Chain A
Amino acid sequence: MGEEGDTVLTLRQLQESVDSHPDDPSHHFNLGVFLWEKGKQSKEIKEKAAEHFVISVKFNPQNDAAFRYLGHYYSRLSVDNHRASKCYQRAVTLNPHDSESGEAICDLLDQEGKESLEVAVCREASEKSPRAFWAFRRLGYLQLHQKKWSEAVQSLQHAIRGYPACADLWEALGLAYQRLGMFTAAIKSYGRAIELEDSRVFSLVESGNIFLMLGSCRKGVEQFQQALQISPQNVSAHYGLASGLLGLSMECISLGAFRWGASLLEEASKVAKASTCLAGNISCIWKLHGDIQLTYAKCFPWMEEAQGLEIDEKFFSTSILSWKRTCCLAAVFASRSYQRALHLVPWQANIYTDIAITSDLICSLQGSDKQDLNAWQLPEKMSLGGLLLESSNSEFWVALGCLSSHGALKQHAFIQGLQLDISLAVAWAYLGKLYREKGEKQLARQAFDRARSIDPSLALPWAGMSADIFVRELTPDEAYESCLRAVQILPLPEFQIGLAKLALLSGHLSSSLVFGAIQQALQRAPQHPEAHNMNGLVCEARFDYQSAASSYRLARCAISTFAGNVRKSHLQDVSINLARSLCKAGNALDAMLECEDLKKEGLLDLEGLQIYAISLWQLGKNDLALSVTRNLAANVLSMEQTSRAASISFICRLLYYISGQDSAIISILKMPKELFQGSKISYVVSAIHALDQSNQLESVVSSSRYFLKSHEEITEMHFLIALSKLVKHGSKDYLRIQTGVNHLKKFLHMYPSSGLMRNLLGYLLLSSGEWNGIHIATRCITAGPSHCSKEEGLRSACEILGAAVVACYTTGNCNGKFSFPTCGYECLHGSGAIQQLQKWLRQEPWNHNARYLLILNYLQKAREERFPPHLCIVLERLIGVALSSQMFSKKDMSCQYQKFQLLLCASEISLQGGDHIGCINNAKKALGLFLPDGSLFFAHLLLCRAYAAEDNFVGLHEQYLRCLELKTDYHIGWICLKFIVSRYKVQNDSNLLELGLEESPKEMKNSQNMWMAVSSLVHGLIAIWTQDFLSAEQFLVQACLLASAESSLFLCHGAICMELARQQCDSQFLSLAFRSLKRARETSLSPLPIVSLLLAQVEGSLGSKTKWEKNLRLEWFSWPPEKRPAEIIFQMHLLSRESKEVSDSSLSAESCQNPRRWILQAIHLNPSCLRYWKALHKLME
């Protein structure tokens, strides 16, 4: 009611104002607008409105809105297009921003087909105002329609400024860019359109097409898939998707991923087939389907579905036949699709060539023989079809040349192609191939060279170059490289087999490039015996003898099934390969059977004889083996120089193994000397010579050694000589290590960089058990990250390092945080060893030795640091991992020993952690292992300690008796036992303990002394427990005499002497102490603590105050700051008091604080000492 009232009211007001000012156009206009808006469907009211507009316009011809309303009136109500367009035109002229009028007039003109007028209107508006975006938009579309691409780009770009969210505009801009060839810009524009509206099929399809054109198939495929989700019937999206998949699969195939390529092609074929159902008369879809099927036929790989193909020949051949059938079927499908395409557009020349190529493939797959040479073959004829329609297409000529079976025609076709385009690399390449087949090597070479220089990315010329290895006088390496290039460009089985052959010549057979290539060749040419044979050789080079053997078997199957008549020698080669790989794989029985088969056919050559002999020997048929060897020896002289040496070494070794050292030596002496000329044979002879005590082979060996030329060979020989010295000069169960060490030391000066010799020297030094040997060992090896993994000699450098560091009694911690190293040899690696071992373990996580040595080193470290909990946890875990390994289930002695050590470690950790039960359990577990008594001794020793810790003295005694029973060769064992016995006062009625220590081996002089010194030290310590300082002093004098380089012994002696001096007030002891302490300070490398303090006391007692001060200061600096004990600080207080009284000039340590603070610091560190409090009290007074 109210609204209506308002309307009436407004109307009346407007009417009144019109009536009052009939000449005012604005009143008329306002009334007109009101009526127009309210008029809705009523024609009469609108007519009335129009009347007012007309009046308004009459008075004010500049009112564009009135013209617009009039235009609406004429176009919609009175349907007078002419007038309507006039009105709109006027409106637009007055106000170029009026998009409503502008669009309306353009629509009107468009309906009437007046395109040029439309353009003119838009152009006029756009020229008048840059903000007339509607005009730019319209103009852009029109220019696009008229294919004026660059103008359209400008208009559209301008329009986009006005309507940035209009997907249509972006799409149109994308199209314009695409037509201009600005693909990146086009992709961006399309992308923007898709962003704004994700259902833009056109943008999706076109950007997909651009992606395909730019070669990024994967992105293209994504676009098409998206387009298909929106519009599943879209033919161009289907087409694009299929061709994108084809492109992707081509990429895969060019990398040799045939199966992947094939699966992509299957998908592509489905898509293409679906699109042919949508539009059956579009030839390019059929052609695409043909392309897909043809590619499929060319890439479908043969797969070894099941194992054991090599045994069942029939199964093998059916598998290959079914593979062939699949390929052939795909080719037939391809042919059919091409024929459909041709039937639809018979004037398209390239389809003739496609059919020709496909028919050629079908012929080759079906293996149909070439018929009459005079009649046209189908491939030939169809490729002519293309040429008839387009004789100036050089590629058709090349196709004809490739497909023709007629030599002269081929040559003619290639030359025709080259006349059309002299730089057609393909034509040159095929021409080269043709010449090569004809035997015109020089021409072939020229053609290939030219092709290669025109287009180096063509595979055939590279392959041709590598095939001409002898004509071009290439080295095998060069030929291999160029063939490799051909294979990498185009993975054809022919190239790949060739590559394997060249790799055999050039020694690259174990390269994974060759392995990959030959595996691919198998997928595409499984009927080719050479592919299997080569695969076998490659596997053999990679030490996979089982696979090699099965490959050779397959090669034989292929020969008998698919290759018509093969030369016998080929079959022989394959069989010998098979026998060899069987022999290497450890299958001596089969190898022998193969050899016997060959022998029956008379094909057993010298290599075969060797295999035969070896497999007979492995089977234990020594007599037969010997007779074969004799047979071989009879033929040796007829052999070539290179293989002769190998045969001789073989014969010598086999003789040694079968009939023993003596008969081998006799045979060697019987053979002519000139046979033993060569490095390899020299090793064999030297090795036999080493074992021979009577030196019968002296002359042979020395003459053969002349042939050692290279650095490596000579060092290897020295290695052998060193070992032989050990053996020769040693006895049956004892090696003279020192002679070997001497030899190596001598020659290491000549070959200082030989890792082999260094490692052996280190190993020997370690094995010698000499006191200082271990330190020298760590110095003579070169251990680093690059050396760890390299196995040189008997042990790797890392192993030696790890073992040496464990063996060093000084535990090599250089930072002095936990102990004060007194080792005179300066362990070079020290704590670095743990890092080194960790690196090694990280490189070879499967290496038990690395883990084992790491554990031992960690234990050493933990011991040094008094078993901190974090290290114990690490150790427990490491030991847990190590013990869980399968390796320790072996009955091997060294494995058992390692397990024993690990269990003892675990036991030690438990003991230190207070877990006595765990300790005892682990030690008992260790006792369960089968090891010599000398080792088991230590388990009992540990049990002693565990029981002692438990205060179980019965158990302790029992274990002690067990120890005595078992005995050990290791001094340390006895000494420890002695220590425990004295510590816990175990009843010790027998003298067995002392005897044991004395009975220990004495062959090592240095060590013996050292051990005796240690033993004396222990005796001394025991004496101190019983307060028997005099005898303690005696023991230590003895110890100091035995080991004059050990500063700690002197320190100990000095301390005892001071105690004696104190007790007995004897200045003689004081001077003894002075001498020992002085000696201790001189011998120790780094300042030993306490030595100076004691010296200061001695000096003080002797009355020299300055010397006392000097020594005390020295003492201060011999402690690392964080470890200085309370006592030294207390002493410093004395010093500072002195210096305060005397002078303040010194810069020494004591002057930095006053005496009171020194005492406070000392009390802070050790508040329980009454002495300090007293001193403080005194000072305060």
Chain B
Amino acid sequence: MKLAWLKTVENAHEDSVWAATWVPSTADDRPPLLLTGSLDETVRLWSPYELKCEATNTGHCLGVVSVAAHPSGEIAASASLDSFIRVFNIRNNETIATLEAPPSEVWQMQFDPSGTTLAVAGGGSASVKLWDTGKWQLIASLSIPRPEGLKPSDKSSSKKFVLSVAWSPDGRRLACGSMDGTISVFDVSRAKFLHHLEGHFMPVRSLVFSPTEPRVLFSASDDGHVHRYDAEGKSLTMALSGHTSWVLSVDVSPDGEAVATGSSDRTIRLWDPKMRAAAQTLNNHTDQVWAVAFQPSKGPGGRGCWLASVSDDKSISLYDYS
């Protein structure tokens, strides 16, 4: 397993690039695209091979903190610090919907695998909001229960500030990570909180389920560790350490064999879960790496895929994973 550097676009945005995701290829064979969001208030689409900027979408008033792509590859959503979510058509940048939440209540977003629901990490509301992608209406709010012994009037809800969210590949479970380091797991169909996954003691900024194993959840936290949980069994199955600063982002390769992480220590690491160790460390970014994203493979046939990383140094890099 290896990452080979392919290309870097310097000054891809005017300011720090904070979010990146792959837009899957569409039914009519449009290739997958890379979607990035930045502090310069824009969202950009990049062609996959030469990383050519295909489109620059404006419209946010503050920096873009999160981007999400619909499984169909037709629509995408971007969210900014002022808690507006803009849902737009990939092809023509047409605004499909503008979802507004109270400020501080929109962070990471993800579409569910079937594309019917958009889950949004609800920040200060200590919940995950689910939006219906047909009517663009709020359908549910999955709240993290308050710890026992805490009076409802107590204003310390910010302890459970929800930063990250992840759908299980089968769409049945939803995990969210919060500022105090706990990860909460919900049963989506019953809209019910199941349990906490513990082990981190600092904010969990990124979560991802293994695409091959629905029970396996990877988490990245400011405490510098990457954890692997059994989300059903409520147990920590592995902790990977090596980053010297916060781990900002985690993603699992389509084959489920490798995990990539981006960190504040300006490196990207490729981990081999089987070996429980880092397989590779990449140092090509000059500032903290806010997001790493594997290109989802279309089928079992394609062995290799790409990894994209974005950083505070305004650049985007592309690697070949094999």
Contacts from A to B (Cβ < 8 Å): 280-281, 335-336, 339-340, 342-343, 346-347, 349, 352, 355, 359, 376, 378, 381-382, 384-385, 388-392
Contact = CB atoms under 8 A, between A and B. Distances in A.
Contacts of A349: 158
B161 interface: yes
Given A281-B246, A336-B63, A385-B104, A346 B163 contact: yes
A546 B185 CA distance: 77
Given A281-B245, A346-B161, A388 B63 contact: no
Contact of B82 (A381, A388, A390): A381
Contacts of A347: 104, 123-124, 158, 161, 179
Given A340-B16, A346-B104, A389 B83 contact: no
B264 interface: yes
Contacts of A335: 62
A497 B78 CA distance: 46
Nearest to A342: B81
B312 interface: yes
12 contacts: A281-B288, A339-B63, A347-B161, A347-B179, A355-B62, A355-B81, A359-B61, A376-B100, A388-B105, A389-B104, A391-B155, A392-B155
B124 A389 contact: yes
A1068 to B, nearest CB: 124
Contacts of B264: 280-281
Contact of B312 (A280, A381, A389): A280
Given A339-B62, A388-B124, A389-B158, A381 B103 contact: yes
B49 to A, nearest CB: 30
Contacts of B62: 335, 339, 355, 359, 378, 382
Contact of B287 (A280, A346, A352, A385): A280
B179 A378 contact: no
Pick the 10 closest A-B CB pairs, nearest first. Answer: A385-B103, A347-B161, A281-B264, A385-B104, A339-B63, A347-B158, A378-B61, A389-B124, A280-B288, A389-B158
B160 to A, nearest CB: 9
B103 A388 contact: yes
Interface in B24-82: 39, 61-63, 65, 81-82
B15 interface: yes
A969 to B, nearest CB: 91
B107 interface: yes
B102 interface: yes
B103 A336 contact: no
Interface of B: 15-16, 18, 39, 61-63, 65, 81-83, 100, 102-105, 107, 123-124, 155, 158, 161, 163, 179, 245-246, 264, 287-288, 312
A679 B81 CA distance: 71
A384 B103 CA distance: 7
B218 to A, nearest CB: 21
A388 B81 contact: no
A385 B39 contact: no
A346 B107 contact: yes
Contacts of A281: 245-246, 264, 288
Contacts of B312: 280, 340
A381 B105 CA distance: 12
Nearest to B84: A381
Contacts of B83: 381, 385
B63, B105, B245 pick with most chain A CB within 10 angstroms: B63
Contacts of A392: 155
A347 B264 CA distance: 19
Contacts of A378: 61-62, 82
A355 B158 CA distance: 19
Nearest to A335: B62
A389 B124 CA distance: 6
B62, B65, B105, B163 pick with most chain A CB within 10 angstroms: B62
B176 to A, nearest CB: 14
A355 B264 CA distance: 23
B45 to A, nearest CB: 22
Given A343-B18, A346-B161, A385 B63 contact: no
Contact of B81 (A339, A389, A390): A339
A384 B102 contact: yes
Contacts of B102: 384-385, 388
A346 B123 contact: yes
A679 B30 CA distance: 96
B104 A343 contact: no
A342 B179 CA distance: 13
Given A343-B63, A388-B102, A388-B124, 10 more contacts: A339-B62, A346-B163, A347-B104, A347-B158, A381-B82, A381-B83, A381-B103, A385-B103, A385-B104, A392-B155
A154 to B, nearest CB: 35
A281, A355, A390 pick with most chain B CB within 10 angstroms: A281
A356 to B, nearest CB: 9
Contacts of B39: 336, 339-340, 343
Contacts of B245: 281
A343, A378, A390 pick with most chain B CB within 10 angstroms: A343
A132 B65 CA distance: 60
A355 B16 CA distance: 17
A403 to B, nearest CB: 12
Contacts of B288: 280-281
A340, A391, A392 pick with most chain B CB within 10 angstroms: A340
A808 B163 CA distance: 100
B107 to A, nearest CB: 7
A384 B81 CA distance: 13
Contacts of B287: 280
Contacts of A352: 103-104
A281 B205 CA distance: 13
A343 B100 CA distance: 18
Contacts of B107: 346
A344 B243 CA distance: 17
Given A384-B102, A389-B104, A343 B158 contact: no
Contacts of B103: 352, 381-382, 384-385, 388
Contacts of B100: 376
A281 to B, nearest CB: 4
A388 B163 CA distance: 16
A773 B182 CA distance: 106
Contacts of B123: 346-347
Nearest to A375: B100
A336 B81 contact: no
A352 B107 CA distance: 14
Nearest to B312: A280
Contacts of B15: 336
A335 B63 CA distance: 10
Contacts of B155: 390-392
B299 to A, nearest CB: 36
Nearest to B288: A280
Contacts of A342: 81
Nearest to B311: A280
Contacts of A339: 39, 62-63, 81
A391 B158 CA distance: 11
Nearest to B107: A346
B65 A343 contact: yes
Contacts of B81: 339, 342-343, 355
B146 to A, nearest CB: 16
B85 to A, nearest CB: 14
B315 to A, nearest CB: 14
Nearest to A356: B103
A851 to B, nearest CB: 69
A346 B264 CA distance: 16
A280, A281, A336, A347 pick with most chain B CB within 10 angstroms: A347
A578 B245 CA distance: 66
Nearest to A333: B15
A200 B246 CA distance: 29
